[in-house]
Amino acid sequence: MTAHAEFYESAADPRVQSAPLSHLSVELGHFYAPDLRQSEEFFVDHFRRIGVWYSAARTAYQNVVPKGSPRISTCILIDDYFGRLDPPPVLVHKLLTAAQKAGVEIDYVARESGCADPVPVGSDPESAETGLSPADLVKARLVADPPPGTTGARPPVGDTGWLCNGMRSPETKQEAMKPATPWSPPAENATVNHSIFADIELWKDGTDGRQWSCAMLAAVWQLLRLGMLRDNGHHIAAPQPMPADLPDSWRALPMILRVNERAAPFNAYRAMTICAPLFQPVENAVRTILQQVAVDQAVMAQVTERAGKEGLSLPDEVVNRIEYLFVDTGPVRGANPR
């Protein structure tokens, strides 16, 4: 009898853990520390303004999804990374009560520091930590986008912590016995008639370690919502049910808390963010970052196949699966993205 053996590299194994998917994830607020100190009435007003547009989104998706029964989940993101907050029992109760008074239902509450902290693999919050944060996983998938005709002499983004969408303006300097370096404008790589150049800080390192930028964490957040992040094929940051008693520490909470037992899945084929116009610069930075992230092709194929089975067609580029509504959400005081 002849024995047959098959050899393969484990790193090439395309199997990835799947995650439940809604048709649409709607973000109803990205709240910074100064805003989170406001009264309950402040948030009632916010959710009432948002609710008009959320209702419109639900109606629109009834015409997009076959059979007119879209799975839509809602979420809010709380900035516990850059500022000090009231403890979860106080703040979560205030936000959920305000949304209820405004006639809006929140399904998931997420903490921004979870994008920067190591997370358990899979759905078990007691499992061993991976040692990598979602931000580290995204950093590892950044792909350089060198301007045409350059030599690659510019330090890579992994060394500098800065990412741009084209060629920076050269530093002008005068050296003795040499002609002055002439000024030239920055240039966008994928320009259409005129350049819109963006140069984005992803992190900075200091004595207290690495601090991720708001734009980088927001890019991670969008990839999480779209179900695009895996650690060695394992689904990360799976939502956890809300405990009967919330801890006093934000870091003691899972990254994503399911506060509505009837909620549709957190991850979704598409993501919509409803926010004030002053968030537009950071979201432009998010889109620039995502255009230079090499998403796992096995995950892409899995999600695309599942969408096809539901009669849905998705854009090839992940960044084009994100939608925005920039609208008046009231007097947002704390949204000054770093």
pLDDT at site 2 = 44
Is the confidence at residue 146, as pLDDT, over 70?
A: no
pLDDT at site 4 = 41
Tell me the per-residue pLDDT of 243-302, one tens digit each, with 9 for 90 and over.
999 999 999 999 999 999 999 999 999 999 999 999 999 999 999 999 999 999 999 999
pLDDT at site 65 = 87
* Range of lowest pLDDT (107-116, 258-267, 327-336): 327-336
Kindly state the average pLDDT of the residues 124-136.
68
Tokens 């940051």 belong to residue: 237
Q: State the Cα–Cα distance between residues 166 and 292, nearest whole angstrom.
A: 12
Q: State the Cα–Cα distance between residues 205 and 51, nearest whole angstrom.
A: 39
What are the phi and psi torsion angles at 129 (to 5°)? -70, 150
Tell me the per-residue pLDDT of 35-91, one tens digit each, with 9 for 90 and over.
999 999 999 999 999 999 999 999 999 888 887 789 999 999 999 999 889 999 999
Q: Hey, how many other C-beta atoms are within 10 angstroms of the C-beta on 228?
A: 21
**Amino acid found at 274:** I
pLDDT at site 192 = 75
pLDDT confidence tier of residue 337, bands split at 50, 70 and 90: very low
Indicate the domain borders of the chain. Answer: 18-139+209-326
**Mode of pairing for the β-strands spanning 230-231 and 203-206:** unpaired
Q: In the predicted model, what is the mean pLDDT of the chain?
A: 86
Tell me the per-residue pLDDT of 206-236, one tens digit each, with 9 for 90 and over.
998 999 999 999 999 999 999 999 998 999 9
Q: State the Cα–Cα distance between residues 250 and 77, nearest whole angstrom.
A: 13
Kindly state the average pLDDT of the residues 305-321.
95
Greatest mean pLDDT among 19-28, 111-120, 184-193, 232-241 lies in 19-28
Q: State the Cα–Cα distance between residues 257 and 254, nearest whole angstrom.
A: 6
Tell me the per-residue pLDDT of 260-276, one tens digit each, with 9 for 90 and over.
999 999 999 999 999 99
Is the confidence at residue 166, as pLDDT, over 70?
A: yes
pLDDT at site 172 = 58
Kind and range of the H or E run holding 33: helix 33-36
Backbone torsion region of residue 160, taken as left when φ is above 0, otherwise alpha when ψ lies between -120 and 50, otherwise beta: alpha
Q: State the Cα–Cα distance between residues 165 and 188, nearest whole angstrom.
A: 6
Residues of the chain with pLDDT > 70, as a percent, come to: 83
Higher per-residue pLDDT: 192 or 142: 142
Helix, strand, or coil here: 145? coil
Higher per-residue pLDDT: 191 or 221: 221
pLDDT at site 128 = 44
Residues 6+ apart with CB under 8 A from 160: none
pLDDT at site 194 = 80
